[in-house]
Chains A and B, each alone.
Chain A
Amino acid sequence: MLKFTLKRLGYMLVVLFIVVTITFFLVHSIPGDPITAMVQDLPEETRTVYLARYGFDQPLGVQYVRFIKACLCGNLGESLRYPGRKVIDIVRNYAPVSGVIGGLSLAIGFTIGILCGILAALNRNKWPDKLIMVIAILGTTIPTFVTAAVLQYLLTVTWPIFPTTGWGQAKHIVLPVLCMCVGPVATYARYMRSSVLDTVNQDYILTAEAKGVSQFRIVTRHIFRNSFLPCITMICSSIAGIFSGSFIIESIFAIPGLGKYFISAINDRDYSVVLGLNIIFTGIYILAMLLCDILMALTDPRIRYSNDR
Chain B
Amino acid sequence: MSELLKVENLSVSFLSYAGEVRAVRDVSFHVDARETLALVGESGCGKTVTSKSIMRLLGRTTGVIQPGSHIYYKGEDILAMDKKRLSQIRGSEISMIFQDSMTSLNPTMTVGAQITENIRTHARVSRADALRRAEELLRMVEIPNPHERLRNYPHQLSGGMRQRAMIAIALAMDPSLLIADEPTTALDVTIQAQLLDLLRGLKDRLGMSIILVTHDLGIVSDFADRVQVMYAGRIVERGTVEEIFQNPRHPYTWALLRSIPGMAPDRKSRLYSLHGTPPDLLLPLEHCPFAARCEYCMPICKKQPPAETVLSDTHGAACWLLHPNAPRVEIPRGIGGVNRD
Interface residues of A (CB under 8 A from B): 200-214, 217, 221-222, 225-226, 229, 299-302, 305-306, 308-309
Contact = CB atoms under 8 A, between A and B. Distances in A.
A211 B169 contact: yes
A24 to B, nearest CB: 44
Contacts of B98: 203, 206-207
Interface residues of B, number: 32
Nearest to B113: A221
Interface in B48-72: 55, 57, 59-60
Contacts of A202: 103
Contacts of A225: 108
A295 B107 CA distance: 16
B107 A203 contact: no
Contact of B91 (A210, A221, A229): A210
Contacts of A214: 87, 121
Which among B96, B108, B121, B156 has the greatest number of chain A C-beta atoms within 10 A?
B108
B100 A212 contact: no
12 contacts: A203-B98, A203-B100, A203-B104, A210-B90, A212-B91, A212-B122, A213-B117, A214-B121, A221-B109, A222-B106, A226-B108, A302-B153
A210 B57 contact: yes
A206 B104 contact: yes
Contact of B105 (A200, A204, A306, A309): A204
B90 A204 contact: no
B59 A209 contact: yes
B206 to A, nearest CB: 18
A305 B155 contact: yes
Contacts of A221: 109
B118 interface: yes
A116 B91 CA distance: 31
B191 interface: no
Contact of B118 (A211, A222, A302, A308): A211
B235 to A, nearest CB: 24
Contacts of A207: 96, 98, 104-106, 166, 169
Contacts of A299: 108
A150 to B, nearest CB: 40
B95 interface: yes
Given A211-B169, A212-B91, A305 B156 contact: yes
Which among A201, A205, A210 has the greatest number of chain B C-beta atoms within 10 A?
A210
Interface in B32-47: none
Nearest to B122: A212
